[in-house]
A and B are shown apart, each in its own frame.
Chain A
């Protein structure tokens, strides 16, 4: 033994070796083999929950599950959102004139039905002016009733072109009273008069956080563009206003944005955005072009005003809330509505409130009621001293507009409308003064949508 110790001392230096860090063998084994894990004991039973559960045996006969072809992605939504504008079963109504450029601005066409020309129907469809909740699908062709308020609005539009000044208007009124439809009439009037129409079909699409957004560099406070939405909007604008845009040359130089040839038109500009990154700069360029003197008049419309006057669902990079007016597209609209952006060729900015899909915006309510009282010469309501949610930006955005209130139609207009329904074969009862008065009263004194509900969407036929 002693000799062995001596040998070791010979072989190694006498200096004591620093203790090495030895790899832990157990962990190494565990890394390369699962055997120990598998052979591990079952987990310890600590409570009643850990006990193995009895699986219930079912004696129920399994139903025969027939393989059904499931609808593809987006198919159901497309079915829900589809817009049907004609019904071949309905009788064609004869003796109704087509809308012409000046028809709706004339006083004598008040209280008459008019057919929307097919070309305008296509354009309106491109603008997404028709809504699923409207009853276009019952009739052979889209027709509209020109009511008193329509004529009033259209003559204001006409005046705006003469004055070279924007007509800024908010349509309001009770639910189903025809605000969206009046918006549609304004759009068809503008299309017939070769204006450029830009329509934002639902205000909520912009602020409910369902479309992509991206910050715009070098803005303080930070602003946001919505590239995908803007691209779609640009394409819709092009589709609806193709004829006008194609004959309007550019006035400014956009070479830093796109490579357009000399003598390019607005249509070329609108088409130059192929990808969503360039959508907002292009849209903004198009808007700048349209606000230059010498271009065609513009109609800018939006439905669902309350949704763009709130704090949006978006957040900035530091997770602060974003006011809807910081979204550039909304801001474009709001600037036009407040008069900050001038329309030197005339034109109009019209926003419609919605009563179904809305929420309480104190500032909006206040300013609209004040404007309405001011127009009617009544006493202007004062702000509520205890209300804490007033929003000055909203107030400033709306304070320069006029308010047009829509309520029920008169009995004569109701009669014309019901005669049209009858002629289309949708209303089978005898149409006399009594029937008209009945439906008029059932429809909340001539609220068109309610009258429709009472006479077309009912079991009583």
Chain B
């Protein structure tokens, strides 16, 4: 809980503080559009406040972007925050917000771990895999239908009816094919990414076998015991639901421990030959990659408990369980990165960047 509180603390100072004086000269902000920062921008979730995991990143960027029109999220957040009486005036700092109020704003008043009997709905799971957060069921449902309707014209459209139906039951897809066009994906997106990360020497099928073993190990392991000290993704289903859904298990573990930002060192921009530490938000895939690399680092240092080819898979599975139960050292790494990011938050709209860019 401690790490998260500190980050919320960061949000308090960042997200809603108006900075009219610094608005005009911000070349860096102009250059980096918000679309570069958000992998899940395509989903257009501007109408609702972004849920917990992303709020810090949006906070750190919106500080410099509060003037630009495209960033509805921060405005929305500011509006919501202003509705609470504590932060109406600009002089009374947002520090006055207590944690309960923040939780209300960030998570929409949902408890961190959901107590719902049925676990996640399909739409929620889908949203988790796509965006790395678990929205409330109704919202997830709405997003799913929206994306489906959006995807429909893209999929398979007979162009000229007579020409197309000749010999084809459903017609041919329209050319040119859009990016990443697939009628069906063979593997789960999260699994696909992780499998390629644990591949060694280019042996993909070995990695896939290992992944399958990991999932079987998770299925046979007893349900994890959540640690209150290391809260998982908000909306995580009860622990009993995880073993029989290993993909969800892995995703929850990885997304919970994933860092929200990384600190980029811009050489020479710090003044006096120092590097400028610039916190940069990460997209979902980047976050997952980072988290799994950390997990792999831990695994590679761990000794095997037995012999044979199942050992690697066993170690991975044990580490995933350790992450969910809060025993893993990966949480420390996340904490460190977030601490660093918070400390360097003042650099986000730095003027030094301008001079650096001009050189």
Contact = CB atoms under 8 A, between A and B. Distances in A.
A87 interface: yes
A393 interface: no
A459 B215 contact: yes
B186 interface: yes
Interface string B204-216: 0000100110011
A20 interface: no
B308 A87 contact: no
Interface string A60-100: 00000000100100011101100010011111000000000
Contacts of A18: none
A459 B211 contact: yes
Contacts of B305: 71, 76, 79
Nearest to B220: A87
B156 interface: no
B191 A459 contact: yes
Interface string B190-218: 01000100000000000010011001100
Interface string A413-439: 000000000000110100000000000
B329 to A, nearest CB: 13
Interface in B283-308: 303, 305-308
B221 interface: yes
Interface stretch (B35-43, B64-72, B238-246): B238-246
A116 interface: no
B216 A457 contact: yes
B208 A76 contact: no
A71 to B, nearest CB: 7
Interface in A87-131: 87-91
Given A459-B195, A460-B187, A90 B306 contact: no
B112 interface: no
Q: Which of B222, B244, B245 has most chain A Cβ within 10 Å?
A: B244
B241 to A, nearest CB: 10
A452 to B, nearest CB: 11
B244 A90 contact: yes
Contacts of A75: 306
Interface in A297-336: none
Contacts of B187: 459-460
B306 to A, nearest CB: 3
Interface in A150-209: none
A458 B212 CA distance: 5
B191 A79 contact: no
B219 A68 contact: no
A58 B52 CA distance: 50
Nearest to A453: B212
Q: Which of A76, A458, A459, A460 has most chain B Cβ within 10 Å?
A: A459
B126 to A, nearest CB: 14
Nearest to A77: B307
A461 interface: yes
A138 interface: yes
A138 B208 contact: no
Contacts of B195: 459
A89 B243 contact: yes
A137 interface: yes
Contacts of B188: 459-461
Nearest to B211: A459
A83 to B, nearest CB: 13
Interface residues of A, number: 24
B228 to A, nearest CB: 23
B247 interface: yes
B223 interface: yes
Contact of B220 (A68, A79, A84): A84
Interface in A13-38: none
Q: Which of A75, A87, A137, A456 has most chain B Cβ within 10 Å?
A: A87
B219 A457 contact: no
A89 B208 contact: no
A137 B310 CA distance: 14
A428 B303 contact: no
Q: Which of B211, B220, B307 has most chain A Cβ within 10 Å?
A: B220
A84 B244 CA distance: 18
A76 B303 contact: no
Given A425-B244, A461-B247, A68 B222 contact: no
B303 A461 contact: no
A76 B307 contact: yes
A426 B246 CA distance: 10
A144 B219 CA distance: 20
A110 B220 CA distance: 29
Interface in B74-94: none
B244 A89 contact: yes
Contacts of B246: 461
B220 A137 contact: yes
A460 B306 contact: no
Nearest to B214: A459
Given A426-B219, A459-B188, A80 B306 contact: yes
A76 B308 CA distance: 9
Q: Which of A75, A89, A457 has most chain B Cβ within 10 Å?
A: A89
Nearest to B218: A89
A340 to B, nearest CB: 41
A456 B216 CA distance: 8
Interface string B302-325: 010111101000000000000000
A420 to B, nearest CB: 15
Contact of B303 (A68, A138, A460): A68
B330 to A, nearest CB: 18
B295 to A, nearest CB: 18
Given A457-B212, A459-B188, A89 B223 contact: yes
Contact of A138 (B219, B222, B306): B219
B62 to A, nearest CB: 39
A26 to B, nearest CB: 57
Contacts of B222: 88-89
B219 A71 contact: no
A25 to B, nearest CB: 61
B186 A460 contact: yes
A146 B308 CA distance: 33
Nearest to B243: A89
A357 to B, nearest CB: 16
Contacts of B307: 76-77, 79-80
B109 to A, nearest CB: 31
A71 B304 CA distance: 9
A71 B211 CA distance: 25
Contacts of A137: 220
Interface of A: 68, 71, 75-77, 79-80, 84, 87-91, 137-138, 425-426, 428, 456-461
Interface of B: 186-188, 191, 195, 208, 211-212, 215-216, 219-223, 243-247, 303, 305-308, 310
Which 10 residue pairs of A and B lie closest in terms of their CB atoms, listed nearest first? A79-B306, A89-B243, A76-B307, A425-B244, A76-B306, A87-B220, A68-B303, A80-B308, A459-B212, A459-B211
15 contacts: A68-B303, A75-B306, A80-B306, A84-B220, A89-B220, A89-B221, A89-B222, A90-B219, A91-B244, A456-B216, A459-B187, A459-B188, A459-B191, A459-B208, A459-B211
Given A88-B222, A90-B220, A458-B212, 12 more contacts: A68-B303, A71-B306, A79-B306, A84-B220, A89-B220, A89-B244, A90-B219, A91-B244, A426-B219, A459-B195, A459-B215, A461-B246
